[in-house]
Structure 1
Amino acid sequence: MGLTGKAVLILAIVLAVVLFTLTIWCWPRLARRSAPAVLGRVGLLLATQVAVFATVGLLANNSFLFYGSWADLLGRQQDLGVVTDHAAGTLAAKNIVRVGTQRPDVPGGARPAVGGRIDKVVIAGRHSGIESSAYVYLPPEYFQEAYARRKFPAVVVLTGYPGTSENLIKGLRYPRTALDRVRAGRAQPMILVMLRPTLAPPRDTECVDIKGGPKTETFFAQDLPQAVSAEYRVGRSARNWGIIGNSTGGYCALKIGLHHPDRYTASAGLSAYYKAAEDPTTGDLFHGDEAARHRADLLWTLDNLPQPDASFLVTTSRHGESNYRDTRRFLAKVKQPARVSSIVLDSGGHNFNTWRREIPAALEWMSSRLSES
């Protein structure tokens, strides 16, 4: 049974309930002052607490995906990575290679024409020189005869820092939510390109082109849309592309959309911040270049550079989010031709539970801003 499987969680819950009930039932018999009675009380209390602790830990891990397997949890060495040599020039020619597929965790997921398909790919950036893995969710319509000649809108979906791409599938449930919105008639079918913004791990590059370092902004603004459009039935115009993310991914989504409206017509930041972080995880991003530092400040950009012909969505909570004040400032600074929308919760922290409450509406908003080709 896998660490993140439902069977393990159900077993832990049942065990905790049984041990709690057993403790209550046996307590009168163990109330004596004999050594066996004392040992019995200690054993039952300890076992019950361990079961409850395991249940809470499994619930937290299933929600946030801290560990993906028992070996990961226990720190055991797993199989080492194996280099796969592809035909010479494959990535240089195609810029994207599919290395695996998996079925979405949705009803009918075994059949692509019913549940869609998730491709694991490697994207090689021709302009940035960056190579990154990603997951591409293809909706059921992509495999249906009625849509055989249609090009779909695409949405780049980013995690926070450090984040894992798998969190977007298992933790934040983007493919399942997108499918539900389409089935409910609230959104159009869209291709989702899911990855983390950390393209030079463990460094947090804040989606900046670093002098002498990784060109993360170039990868997201140029390389990724070009590679995906060449491999899949996706339009190449800005009106066909959106970008969304949470936390650091939210900052990156807004930043890329703000500076590259010719590539992305819609950008959504869930619990985003509005100025590039500069700390030990980022290193020196700007090397004394104040113009680059200002450009990475979204509020400064809105005040000092021409506003783009693009749409933006920002989210926050009145209680529980530290970005509430800056989000209000962002909303006030957006002017025509730019357009801005918001999701403001009464309460909600910087966590998966909050983002899962925002993602359905955010995908509906994104769908309404994008068009097919």
Structure 2
Amino acid sequence: MTLRIDAPAFLAVVYAIAAALALYLLARRGRRRLLAGVLAAVGGALLGWLLVWLLDDVFDVFGVGLTPTTTAWVAAGVAGVALAVANLVGSRWWRKVVAIASIPLFVLAAFAGVNVDFGAYRDLDDALGVVPYRGLDLHHERGEVVAGRDWTQAAAVPAGDPSAGPSADPAGDPPAKGEVGTVRIPGVRSHFPAREAVVYLPPVALGANPPVLPVMYAFSGQPGAPSDMFTAGRVAQVMDAFARTHRGYAPIVVAADQLGGPGRNPMCVDSRAGGNAATYLLTDVRQWITSHLRVSSDPAAWSVFGYSEGATCAVQFATGHPELFGSALASSSELGPTLGDERTTIASGFGGSRAAYEAAQPAAQMAAHTPYRDSLVIFGVGQNDARYLAYARTLHADAEKAGMRTELLVSPGSAHDWNTVRYTLRNGFPAIAAHLGLGS
């Protein structure tokens, strides 16, 4: 069983040990030594605060605003390390041992606190980027061929209600949970260097007679990986919870790789520098889905969900391709595809063409496609994420003006983090599900 580093019991133990070590290292005989320890801790805290201020406010290294909670944990961590270093001077050997041993504990406590604020990692595997899912076998289950489970010959069929159709009554009761696994989706047309995708099959899709189902793309942020949407985003848990109250029905979720690597950002467009990301996602991935899974061909039954850079992709696709996607759920979206600044974005992502760059912006796409016949876009953003809150309000207003059904969700107390993603998914998905034809 993997240790949960976000579990309250684990956090309580780590915080308590770190606090006890800090008190021990402060408690030194003599005013001079005590004062030296206090000054070291205060100086370390100020250094930590200064580091966050420089990286976040001055140089904007992360591209998002860090919360006061994260700043406080960084300051506390550096303060603890500074206090430990101060105890290496003029102390007995056993205090030196405690001081050295305390440094990783102070770092761990700070990391744990920041992790809670971001809501990113459940365990060390998540922190190390280990994908916890096995390959998804669409032909076999537990080594035995399951009748009807081979979907490779199932063509996409239209469906007003995705649960309607000749195979809408699956044989037997569906299992309690869906299945998550990895698949390789080749870039047949695009030649895009995509990593393995992660796919969720709802309970009703696991029986001998799978029904026609809707589809939801899921895109991680950047840097990131497809599995992030299931580990940090908890997509499968939300889908399973929905399925429990809807006879096992939920959309098939496909988290394809829109990046091609954790440090890349092709912006979900085709470019010489970034590769044919748009062709991969809109052609290769879609053709793989329709040739391997029993899904609806109705655009209303296709949705796209994303976080940060992935949310920007979601908005781009929903606004620019209403013939393919009827809805989108976007958590912390940019105003449009970007590499940080306009000049770099145009040069690298659009071959130097300002016209192509401007045409790719969601605002321009909404103006070009208005009025939308039947499109829904839900924007989610953290309450403490001032920059992206402004973006969300602008996009929401543009969507309303273009005639789209739209909603703005503000996650209380969170910022540009996975807590916001999970809030957006939990609170925005019911409307998306109804639009997909899976409402009550």
Identify the TM-score tier after normalising by the shorter chain: 0.7 to 0.9
Instruction: Give 1:221's aligned residue.
Output: 282
Asked if the contact 2:329–2:377 (Cα under 8 Å) also holds between the matched residues in 1, the reply is yes
Aligned-residue offset at 1:315: 1.8
Task: Report which stretch shifted further, 57-66 or 314-323.
Answer: 57-66
Name which of 179, 185, 201 aligns with 1:117: 179
Structure 2, unaligned runs of 5 or more: 32-88, 130-151, 154-173
Aligned residue for 1:118, secondary structure, equals strand
1:306-345 alignment, distance < 5 Å: 306-309=370-373, 310-334=375-399, 335=401, 337-345=403-411
Asked if the contact 2:269–2:349 (Cα under 8 Å) also holds between the matched residues in 1, the reply is yes
Asked if the contact 2:221–2:306 (Cα under 8 Å) also holds between the matched residues in 1, the reply is yes
Instruction: Give 1:194's aligned residue.
Output: 255
Aligned residue for 1:113, secondary structure, equals coil
Give the partner amino acid of 1:177.
V
Give the partner amino acid of 1:116.
G
Aligned-residue offset at 1:344: 2.4
Give the partner amino acid of 2:271.
I
1:338-353 alignment, distance < 5 Å: 338-353=404-419
Distance in 2 (alpha carbons) for counterparts of 1:25 and 1:331: 53
Name which of 138, 157, 168 aligns with 2:218: 157
Asked if the contact 1:168–1:194 (Cα under 8 Å) also holds between the matched residues in 2, the reply is yes
| Cα pair distance change 1:323/1:55, threshold 3 Å | closer
| Cα pair distance change 1:213/1:50, threshold 3 Å | closer
| Cα pair distance change 1:45/1:117, threshold 3 Å | same
Scaled by the length of structure 1, what TM-score is found?
0.74
Distance in 1 (alpha carbons) for counterparts of 2:309 and 2:337: 9
1:1-373 alignment, distance < 5 Å: 5-6=3-4, 14=13, 17=16, 38-44=92-98, 47-48=101-102, 50-58=104-112, 60=114, 63-65=119-121, 69=125, 113-132=175-194, 133-144=196-207, 148-184=209-245, 188-199=249-260, 202-210=263-271, 214-279=275-340, 284-309=348-373, 310-334=375-399, 335=401, 337-371=403-437
Asked if the contact 1:187–1:368 (Cα under 8 Å) also holds between the matched residues in 2, the reply is no
Task: Report which stretch shifted further, 239-248 or 350-359.
Answer: 350-359
Give the partner amino acid of 1:288.
G
Scaled by the length of structure 2, what TM-score is found?
0.64
Asked if the contact 1:265–1:311 (Cα under 8 Å) also holds between the matched residues in 2, the reply is yes
Asked if the contact 1:246–1:269 (Cα under 8 Å) also holds between the matched residues in 2, the reply is yes
Aligned-residue offset at 1:214: 1.8
Give the partner amino acid of 2:418.
F
| Cα pair distance change 1:44/1:70, threshold 3 Å | farther
Aligned-residue offset at 1:59: 5.7
Distance in 2 (alpha carbons) for counterparts of 1:289 and 1:240: 34
Aligned-residue offset at 1:174: 0.8
Aligned residue for 1:322, secondary structure, equals helix
Aligned residue for 1:222, secondary structure, equals helix
| Cα pair distance change 1:151/1:201, threshold 3 Å | same
Distance in 2 (alpha carbons) for counterparts of 1:365 and 1:273: 22
Give the partner amino acid of 2:323.
D
Asked if the contact 2:327–2:377 (Cα under 8 Å) also holds between the matched residues in 1, the reply is yes
Aligned-pair identity in percent equals 20
| Cα pair distance change 1:131/1:123, threshold 3 Å | farther
Give the partner amino acid of 1:239.
A
Q: C-alpha root-mean-square deviation of aligned residues, in Å?
A: 3.9
Q: Encode CA deviations 1:144-195: one digit per residue, 9 max, x unaligned.
A: 46xx241111100000112112221111111112212333559951211113
Instruction: Give 1:84's aligned residue.
Output: none
| Cα pair distance change 1:169/1:304, threshold 3 Å | closer
Aligned-residue offset at 1:363: 1.9
Task: Report which stretch shifted further, 136-145 or 332-341.
Answer: 332-341
Aligned-residue offset at 1:37: 8.0
Distance in 2 (alpha carbons) for counterparts of 1:165 and 1:64: 14
Structure 1, unaligned runs of 5 or more: 74-93, 96-111
Asked if the contact 1:250–1:271 (Cα under 8 Å) also holds between the matched residues in 2, the reply is yes
Aligned residue for 1:181, secondary structure, equals helix
Distance in 2 (alpha carbons) for counterparts of 1:250 and 1:319: 18
Distance in 1 (alpha carbons) for counterparts of 2:383 and 2:126: 38
